[in-house]
Amino acid sequence: MREIRFREALREAMSEEMRKDSNIFLMGEEVAEYNGAYKVSQGMLDEFGEKRVIDTPIAELGFAGIGVGAAMNGLRPIIEFMTFNFALLPIDQIVNSAAKTLAMSAGQFNCPIVFRGPSGSAGQLGAQHSQMFENWYANVPGLKVISPSNPYDAKGLLKSAIIDNDPVIFMESEVMYSDMGFVPEEEYYIPIGKADIKRVGSDVTIVSFNKMMKVALKAAEELEKENISAEVIDLRTIRPLDIATIVESVKKTNRIVVVDESWPFGSIASEIGYQLQKDAFDYLDAPVRRVNGADTSMHYAGNLVNAYLPDPAKVIKVVKEVMYR
């Protein structure tokens, strides 16, 4: 396998599927002439032309709506948002149109569309550009939500999302686009709805997704030095949620900590906690614990950004609390 960047893995996924199917196109702000705000679509305009790699005005509601209409009429759009913070404008099209088309048409119309772009914090960008949205969209029946943590998973899952007949929300991170990872040269797909055990352990389960996987894995490395063996699970897909993999891990470790960048109230961590008390209560030797972002808006100052976000030290502290309670 060769080592490539996260952005290159995304580009390969889109390009490979676009070569197979002329109904697939990419649309969004700066995706064409500028090669993408984060250079994800670099070179795609040259290969596929302006009818399939389409620059849009700064009008997310408008071009998201065009994408939904195109999907309902047989095309397969990939709609890129420069950040999912801007997707608050077209959320009506995503939630009230794309997600509900199949149900409201009594199964007559699919809406095969991918909405993709970065979610979550990316440093000192302030309160309006630092929000996590995985739990928002995961709350909506009819949407599939994917949030990968590395180039290998990103490519395989994006390819599966593009060929899926349902609307898919594909969440990335601005701070991961340059991350390197090993990706096969041959074609592959990763099934939607399957978590992955990134590190095997026996004492405690740590569950996370997206860039917080780096925090989880770093915490596990430090805990190993203190003879605490942490099993680390990458959700990869938020909806459908692979609770079965988490339950099997908890049956072994009897303890779990969920690391989730989003606000704590109504978070993915909260949902996992509920499902575990329902499906794995008898295996828990300690309460389900979570490490979330702060329950406040993100501030600009660097020290406040650090205070807001989960980090390895916060995770280690909570793991020790469930280990030695």
- H/E element, 306: helix 302-308
HEC sequence for 232-251? EEECCEEECCCHHHHHHHHH
Neighbours of 314 (CB within 10 A): 17
The set of long-range contacts for 61-65, using a CB threshold of 8 Å and a minimum separation of 24, is 61/89, 61/90, 61/92, 61/93, 62/90, 63/27, 63/28, 63/90, 64/90, 64/93, 64/94, 64/115, 65/90, 65/93, 65/97
Q: Is 292 helix (H, G, I), strand (E, B) or coil?
A: strand
Active site residues: 60, 129
The two three-digit tokens of residue 255, written as one number = 């303890």
Which of these, 159, 273, 134, lies nearest to 212 by C-alpha position?
A: 134
Which of these, 195, 208, 155, 204, lies nearest to 317 by C-alpha position?
A: 204
- What are 77's strand-pairing partners? 25
Neighbours of 278 (CB within 10 A): 10
Residue 265 CA, chain-centre distance (Å), reads 19
Neighbours of 111 (CB within 10 A): 23
Which of these, 109, 84, 87, 95, lies nearest to 139 by C-alpha position?
A: 95
State how far the Cα of 48 lies from the Cα of 136, in Å rounded to an integer: 33
Quick check: 179 and 6 in contact, CB under 8 A?
yes
DSSP conformational letter for 174: G
State how far the Cα of 186 lies from the Cα of 175, in Å rounded to an integer: 27
